[in-house]
Amino acid sequence: MTQPAQQPPRNPRIAIIGAGMSGLCMAFVLRRAGITDITIYEKADSVGGTWRDNTYPGLSCDVPSRFYQFTFAPKPDWSHVFSPGAEIRDYFTSVARDHDLEKHIRFGTEVVHAEFGQGHWRLRTSHGDTQEVDFLISATGILHHPRYPTIQGLDDFGGAVFHSARWDHSVPLRGKRVAVVGTGSTGVQIVCGLAGTAGRVELFQRSAQWVLPVPNPSYTRFGKTLHRRFPKLGARIYESYRAGFQFLAGALIKPGKRRRLIGALCRANLRTVRDPKLREALTPDYQPMCRRLIFSGRFYRAMQRPDVGLVTENIDHVTSNGIVTTDGRLHEVDVIALATGFDAHAFLRPMNLVGENGRTIDEAWSDGPRAHLTVALPDFPNFFMLMGPHSPVGNYSLTAIAETQADHILGWVDRWRRGEFATVAPTRQATDAFNTEMRSAMPGTVWTTGCTSWYLGKDGVPELWPWTPGAHRTRLSTDTSGYDLRVTADRP
Ligand SMILES: Cc1cc2nc3c(=O)[nH]c(=O)nc-3n(C[C@H](O)[C@H](O)[C@H](O)COP(=O)(O)OP(=O)(O)OC[C@H]3O[C@@H](n4cnc5c(N)ncnc54)[C@H](O)[C@@H]3O)c2cc1C
């Protein structure tokens, strides 16, 4: 009997929004699986997202570079254990070039609207043109929209003012008095980067941060040669970092020895601040790790320099020549750098996304961003996200998270190629159940121990993954339940 001729797998049309780390990862994973009809929309003129936009002095990764890289594109010659931002941007540029991803990217093209109907997504770009695709994948980032503080008089300041993610390199800083507003990882890195170069650095602190003292040595020529010669060494090191960060994650998600150990290391680090008054001012009033833990072997040394000052009074207003704090004191400065963070809850917005039955993303997220398994949304068929709500972002390498999510998404695309369904979306029940499961796991985590942070949603519950990153990997590679697959007799 003759077998029916096997149909070749369908080649889906896929749009990825964003050519940052996640978008490139997704495109690579799709290409590796033989999918070719991919368009990556990128509103800027180059790849790299975060690492393109952030160029401030002192910027470096706070995850070791040998772990903050793709497993499919190991780089043997990272300069430092925690490499500088420009090197990371160059890495992503070379990933795009070496893996032939650039040809898929439409630079300078923002997706402003996407609507689902009749089994397809129809996108509209900032140029007004449209495209129809079978799958829409958002890789628009979490820390992407700079958050500007509302400070009276800021617009009247006579010197330069800019956000850390929009650093103005035309402004000379040598010998200048620079105010750094904000004490997250970015504020800490800027202080370390400017201390000794600027004339004076004044750090305006609303709340102190815990700092884990992690040195950042450079790699020797010998070390780089070893990595080039023995690629398996890099893979081993990646795995050992993965295990180390899994250990750290254990401290984040449940109380116990690990949490106490990391807390003790942070406290010991704080004791290296000799002046008791300064030490007290730098002492946080919440548990270590409740906010994103800062890794720096240089911060407290920088803060003890005579040309670096700490201001703990709140900012009242800005005048033409400086910042006035609530105690009435004028701090005269030439430049104000706003290290005030990002709107971490915007996700893919302001893009307007319309799913089934006209349901908009703003309606779906009226109570805050929600997702099924961190990647999908009910009523939004054949739509997936990288770094979507609840992704495990607390002190972990997001390249590893992106690979896990991209593999999960590919699993669905592959099933579509085999003709198993026309559209797929998680059910509302499954998404609600998943969110309930997450919320009930939250109480033991360190993020709920009493601090404000960008991790918290508007209901005060962290929008994070409350289990280990390993659990995220396992769950996304095995759990395909909770999805509603719609099959049509004819191929769409
Ligand atoms: C200062 C800083 C330091 C960080 N350090 C670390 C670290 O040490 N370790 C770590 O794991 N993570 C770190 N992060 C988090 C970092 O954002 C992620 O690791 C990673 O770069 C996110 O990549 P992404 O592609 O998901 O998003 P992004 O890098 O934000 O890229 C999103 C891209 O999408 C584009 N885009 C957005 N909307 C649209 C649209 N509608 N149409 C077209 N294009 C669009 C943007 O232009 C951008 O290029 C840091 C973040 C910041 C801000």
How far does the centroid of ligand 1 lie from the alpha carbon of residue 44, in Å?
A: 12
Ligand 1 within 6 A of 347 CB?
no
Q: Which of 29, 47, 50 to mutate to test the pocket of ligand 1 (most atoms within 8 A of CB)?
A: 50
- Closest atom, ligand 1, to C-alpha of 141: 27
E-strand ranges in 108-245 read 111-117, 120-125, 130-133, 135-138, 160-163, 177-181, 200-204, 211-212
pLDDT over 70 for what percent of the chain?
A: 98
The atom number, within ligand 1, closest to the CA of 109 reads 43
Q: List the residue whose alpha carbon is closest to atom 4 of ligand 1.
A: 61
- 111 touches ligand 1 (CB under 6 Å): yes
Nearest CA to ligand 1 atom 16: 50
* Separation of alpha carbons 22 and 385, rounded Å: 9
Dump pLDDT digits (tens) for 318-331: 999 999 999 999 99
**So what's the pLDDT on residue 439?**
93
Query: Which band of pLDDT confidence, cut at 50, 70 and 90, is reported for residue 146?
Result: very high
Beta bridge partners of 117: 120
Band of pLDDT at residue 345, cut at 50, 70 and 90 = confident
Q: Is 26 in the pocket of ligand 1 (CB under 6 A)?
A: no
Ligand 1 center–CA 142 separation, angstroms:
6
User: Which atom of ligand 1 is least distant from the CA of 401?
Assistant: 11
What is the DSSP secondary-structure string of 348-408? TTTSEEE-GGG-BHHHHTTTS---BTTTB-TT-TTEEESS-TT---TTS-HHHHHHHHHHH
Question: Could you tell me if the CB of 186 is within 6 A of ligand 1?
Answer: yes
- Quote the pTM value: 0.95
Residue 143 near ligand 1, beta carbon < 6 Å: yes
Pairwise CA distance, residues 74 & 69, whole Å:
6
The residue whose CA has the least distance to atom 6 of ligand 1 is 61
**Ligand 1 contact via 43 beta carbon (within 6 Å):** yes
pLDDT (0 to 100) of residue 489: 38
Q: Return the pLDDT at 4.
A: 54
For residues 168-188, give the mean pLDDT. 97
Tell me, what's the pLDDT at 490?
42
CA of 21 relative to ligand 1 center, distance in Å: 7
- Could you tell me which residues are beta bridge partners of residue 135? 14
C-alpha 374 to ligand 1 mean position (Å): 16
pLDDT above 90 coverage of the chain, percent: 91
The predicted pLDDT at position 5 comes to 60
- Sequence-distant (6+) residues with CB within 8 A of 360 are 352, 353, 354
| Ligand 1 atom nearest to CA at 144 | 30
* CA of 85, closest atom in ligand 1: 3
Please answer whether residues 174 and 252 qualify as being in contact, where contact means their C-beta atoms are separated by less than 8 angstroms.
Answer: no
pLDDT digits (tens, 9 = 90+) for 356-373: 999 999 999 998 999 999
Decide whether any atom of ligand 1 lies within 6 Å of the 18 Cβ: yes
User: So what's the pLDDT on residue 1?
Assistant: 46
Cβ–ligand 1 distance for 63 under 6 Å, the answer: yes
Nearest CA to ligand 1 atom 35: 18
Give yes or no for residue 492 having a pLDDT over 60. Answer: no
Model confidence over 224-278: pLDDT tens digits?
A: 999 999 989 999 999 999 999 998 899 999 999 999 999 999 999 999 999 999 9
pLDDT classification of 315: cutoffs 50, 70, 90: very high
Which domains are present in the chain?
14-145+344-486 (3.50.50.60), 154-218+223-338 (3.50.50.60)
> Residue 69 and residue 61: Cα distance in Å, rounded?
11
Where on the phi/psi map is residue 232: left (φ > 0), alpha (ψ -120 to 50), or beta? alpha
Atom of ligand 1 nearest to the CA of 112: 41
Give the ligand 1 atom nearest the CA of 387: 26
Atom of ligand 1 nearest to the CA of 398: 11
Where does 36-129 show beta strands of DSSP type E?
38-41, 105-106, 111-117, 120-125
Q: What is the pLDDT of residue 205?
A: 97
